[in-house]
Structure 1
C-alpha cells in the first residue's frame, strides 16, 4: 500500500498552520507583536488544534502501516529519526531557552506514543474507549494527581511526561502521554475503520491544484519541515533585528 494523498494533505494543513503559529510566536519573542501565547485562548486553542491534527494523522498512519504489514525493523528506522530529532530539539531549545528548554515536547511525546500505538494496534474498536479514557485522564489530571501516593513526585520531570500533574511544568513545549495519547489512539481507530470498511478506495483523487499539491508535499516531508522551519524563521528575524 502506497501513501494516502488525503492524509498527506491533512498533515500538510497542520504543517502550514504550525508554521504560521510559530512565526507569530517568533514575532512576539522578538518584540514585533505583544501576545500571551501561554494563556490567551486564541493561541492556546490553536496549539491544541494543531497538535491534535498531527497526532490524529500519526495514529492514522500507524493504522495504514500495520495494515500493510510494516515490519518492526522498518518501524524502528523511522522511530529513530523521530527520536533523534527530539534530542536535537532539546539541545536547540536549551541554547535558546535555558530556563524553559523542551525535554518532553511533541517529538518526544510522539516517539513514546508511536511505540504504545504500535503495541496496541490489535485492540481494534477498543481504541476508541482507550482514547476517551486517556483524554479524560488528561482533562482531570489535577484531580487524579491529588489521589496519587507521593503526589508531588508526579510533578517532577522524571514522571510528569505521563501527564498526571497538578500544574504544568516550565517548558516551551509540553506534550505528555495523557491526554495526547488519546488523540493518537483515535487516529489509529479511525484509520482502522476506514481500512476495514473499504472507504480508502472511495476517496477522491487530490487533483492537480497547485495549493493542494503544495500541501501534499508539505505533509510528505513534515518531519524535515518541522526541524528546519524554526531555525529559518528565527534566523531571518534575528537578521531583521540586527539590520533595523
Structure 2
C-alpha cells in the first residue's frame, strides 16, 4: 500500500499555481492584450526556469518516495505511459496553435525520459549530487566548446538538441532537454532518499490528514498531469471569449 506525502503534493501545487499565473500572462500577450517579451526578458525567463525546476525537483522527490515504498516496475510503466501519452497530446495541440514553433521536447517529454533515467540510476547514491552539478553546468560550456570544436555543432540538430548541449535554443514554445534538467531531477531524488532515511517528517511522513485550503492544494498537486493538460485550453478559451465580448 503506497502513501502519498502531502508536503510533496503541496510543493507541486505551488508550482502549478505559479505556472498558471505565468501562462495567463503569456496568453494575454498572445492575444495582444499586453506587450511582454517572454522569450528574452529575464523577468519572464527566470520565472519559467524556476517553475520548471520546481516541477522537476518534485518529480525526483516523488521517485524517491515510490522506490522507498517498493513501487514495482509494472506500476512505474503504467504512470510513465500516462506521461508519454500526455506529451504526445501537447505536441499535437501545439502544432495547431503554434505550427512554426510547436513543442516536440517540452516538460512532459523531458519528464518521460528523465523518469526512466532516474529509476535506472536510483542506486548511484550521493554521486548524483556532483553528477547533477556537472549536468547542470554542461550547457553553459557548450558555446565555448563549439567555438573550439565546430564539429560539436551537430548537437544543435533537431535529432540531437533534445540532449541540451546546444549553443542556440531551437524554435519551440517549450524546451526542456536532458541538460541541464536531469541534474535537477537527480538532486530531487537524492534529496528525497536522504530525507526519507534521516528526516522523514520533512516530507510529511506521519502528517495528519489535511483539511481546508491545504486539502484543496494537496488534491491539486495529486492531479497535476490532468491539470497541466487542461489549464492552457481553459485559459485560452476564456480569454478568447472575453476578447470576443469586448
Shift of 1:3: 0.3
Q: Which runs of 5+ in 2 are unaligned?
A: none
Shift of 1:68: 1.2
Q: Does 1:122 align with 2:123?
A: yes
**CA–CA separation in structure 1 for the residues paired with 2:203 and 2:16:** 25
TM-score w.r.t. structure 2 length? 0.94
Tell whether the 8 Å contact from 1:144 to 1:164 is kept in structure 2 after alignment: no
Distance 1:217 1:174, change over 3 A: same
SS at match of 1:124: helix
- Which deviates further from its counterpart, 196-205 or 106-115? 196-205
Tell whether the 8 Å contact from 1:163 to 1:178 is kept in structure 2 after alignment: yes
Tell whether the 8 Å contact from 2:201 to 2:207 is kept in structure 1 after alignment: no
**Residue 243 of structure 1: aligned partner:** 245
**CA–CA separation in structure 2 for the residues paired with 1:206 and 1:141:** 48
Tell whether the 8 Å contact from 2:128 to 2:190 is kept in structure 1 after alignment: yes
Q: Does 1:227 align with 2:229?
A: yes
**CA–CA separation in structure 1 for the residues paired with 2:144 and 2:71:** 40
**CA–CA separation in structure 1 for the residues paired with 2:187 and 2:142:** 19
Shift of 1:202: 8.0
Shift of 1:211: 2.8
Root mean square deviation, CA, Å: 1.7
Distance 1:163 1:148, change over 3 A: farther
Distance 1:95 1:212, change over 3 A: same
Cα-to-partner distance string for 1:157-204 (whole Å, 9 max, x where unaligned): 100000111100110000010000000000001001001114337847
Q: Which runs of 5+ in 1 are unaligned?
A: none
SS at match of 2:50: helix
Question: Matched residue pairs, number?
Answer: 244
Cα-to-partner distance string for 1:54-85 (whole Å, 9 max, x where unaligned): 00000010011111111111111100100000
Cα-to-partner distance string for 1:17-68 (whole Å, 9 max, x where unaligned): 0011000100110011111111111111110110000000000100111111
Shift of 1:149: 6.5
- Which deviates further from its counterpart, 135-144 or 87-96? 135-144
Cα-to-partner distance string for 1:125-146 (whole Å, 9 max, x where unaligned): 1111111111111232322344
**Residue 141 of structure 1: aligned partner:** 142
Match of 1:215 among 204, 207, 217: 217
Cα-to-partner distance string for 1:107-136 (whole Å, 9 max, x where unaligned): 000000000000000001111111111111
Tell whether the 8 Å contact from 1:206 to 1:212 is kept in structure 2 after alignment: no
What are the equivalent positions in structure 2 for 1:1-244 lying under 5 Å apart?
1-146=2-147, 150-200=151-201, 203=204, 205=207, 208=210, 210-244=212-246
**CA–CA separation in structure 1 for the residues paired with 2:224 and 2:197:** 27
Distance 1:148 1:196, change over 3 A: farther
Shift of 1:147: 5.1
